[in-house]
Amino acid sequence: SNIAIITNKNSMITPKTNTVFETKEYNVTDQGCQLLCCLTCPLHFLPVIPGTMGSKRMVLEEEEAVLMINCPPCCSINTRRPYGELGSVDKNNCLCCKGVSSDLNKSFPLFVGWGCDDAKVTEIVSELKARMKARGDTGQIERAEETLSEVKHLREEVSSLKADMKLLMQHLNVPVQYEMER
């Protein structure tokens, strides 16, 4: 007699592809704040041109954000934070200046350029939020839920295969010697 084993062709699990972020770099030097420091405090008169007090760069890597502050000759600061640890990322307004605040720059918002580049600030905020959603706590929960769904699907497939094997063994009159239990 002919034996037909029917399998589900759609039984392969196709996990969602993880979002891959490209590295982005932003010059977030705050020339406007530096000029304000030069005008308001005599101790800050050392730099004559705003921007020479230091530069700030934000690099958005795949798994973490990096803020590099370079203030020659006195200091150089590199701060790294995984996206899940950035806290609240917000767009700030101070008078007419627009800035970015997060736990990456805890003490003071980054007022990009002269503080008027609303488009760049909006881009940085939206990019940070997208990466936080994919790589932060929410992203980890979503990946855990996907894994759980895949495990449930595999259990259903194994159960179906077990039933098929049992039918096959009964058809071939093969005695079942033991039953596997979970």
DSSP character string of the chain: --------GGGS--PPPPP-PPPEEEE---HHHHHHHHHH-GGG-S-SSTTTT-EEEEEE-SSEEEEEEEETTTEEEEEEEEGGG----EEEEETTEEEEESGGG-SS-B--TTTT-HHHHHHHHHHHHHHHHHHSHHHHHHHHHHHHHHHHHHHHHHHHHHHHHHHHHHHTTPPP------
Q: What is the pLDDT of residues 100-159, one digit of tens each?
A: 888 887 767 888 888 788 899 999 999 998 888 887 777 777 778 888 999 999 999 999
Distances 22 to 7, 25, 29, 60 between C-alpha atoms, Å? 40, 10, 22, 8
The rounded distance, in Å, linking the Cα atoms of 72 and 178 is 76
At residue 4, the pLDDT reads: 39
Q: What is the mean pLDDT of the chain?
A: 78
Query: Among 67, 76, 60, which Cα is nearest to 130's?
Result: 60
pTM over 0.75: no
Q: Taking the C-alpha atoms of 19, 78, 33 and 92 in order, what is their torsion angle to the nearest 10 degrees?
A: 30
Report residue 101 CA to chain centroid gap: 17
The rounded distance, in Å, linking the Cα atoms of 128 and 117 is 17
User: Residue 8 — very low, low, confident or very high, per pLDDT cuts 50/70/90?
Assistant: very low
